[in-house]
């Protein structure tokens, strides 16, 4: 009988290649992704979301008046790009706290991809459930009265 890890490794080893995917096409998508990400960061660096109205607005906030777990993320990223970590934390503490984990996850996905395995095969279902619980709890807590004093609600 196979253990969970051995079963996962066996499944990952049997994953068929994607039809029509060539190394050149994969590299092209990777380059396009990096260019779009870089251009987005440049725009976000030079145009403060708090002062310019061309950024998307939160549909959840517009319809309910409540803050979703992502509210304040663009303003937080703008502040982080300028090196203002404390101000970024005040806009969205959860996203700023999760950035190191996102970076490690991206590196892990790239490593799996380089080993010709599915990029997200390393993610455990329990982690996704835990992330969902964290997002829901954060979303509830940031809408409680006085949440702004505890860095949960974005500053205005």
pLDDT tens digits, the chain, 156 residues: what are they?
A: 556 655 555 555 565 666 666 777 777 888 898 899 999 999 999 999 989 889 999 999 999 999 999 999 999 999 999 999 999 998 999 999 999 999 999 889 888 887 878 888 888 999 999 999 999 999 998 888 876 666 677 766
Phi, psi of 28 (to 5 degrees): -65, -45
**37: closest CA among 92, 102, 91?**
102
In tens, the pLDDT along 83-106 reads: 999 999 989 999 999 999 999 998
Q: CA-to-CA distance for 139 and 137, rounded, in angstroms?
A: 5
DSSP H helical segments within 47-151, as ranges? 59-64, 73-81, 85-91, 93-114, 125-141
Residue found under tokens 């979303």: 139
Taking every pair of Cα atoms in the chain, the longest distance, rounded to a whole number of angstroms, is: 60
Q: Where are the domains of the chain?
A: 22-150
Q: Model pTM? A: 0.76
């Amino acid at each position: 009988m196979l253990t969970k890890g051995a079963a996962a490794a066996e499944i990952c080893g049997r994953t068929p290649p994607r039809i029509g995917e060539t190394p050149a096409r994969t590299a092209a998508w990777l380059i396009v992704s990096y260019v779009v990400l870089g251009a987005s960061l440049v725009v976000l660096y030079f145009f403060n979301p708090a002062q310019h109205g061309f950024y998307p607005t939160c549909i959840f906030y517009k319809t309910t008046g409540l803050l979703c777990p992502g509210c304040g993320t663009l303003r937080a990223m703008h502040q982080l790009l300028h090196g203002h970590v404390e101000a970024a934390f005040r806009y969205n503490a959860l996203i700023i706290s999760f950035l190191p984990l996102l970076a490690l996850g991206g590196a892990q996905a790239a490593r799996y991809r380089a080993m010709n395995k599915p990029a997200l095969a390393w993610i455990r279902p329990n982690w996704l459930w835990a992330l969902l619980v964290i997002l829901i709890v954060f979303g509830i807590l940031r809408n409680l009265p006085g949440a702004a004093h505890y860095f949960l609600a974005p500053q205005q």
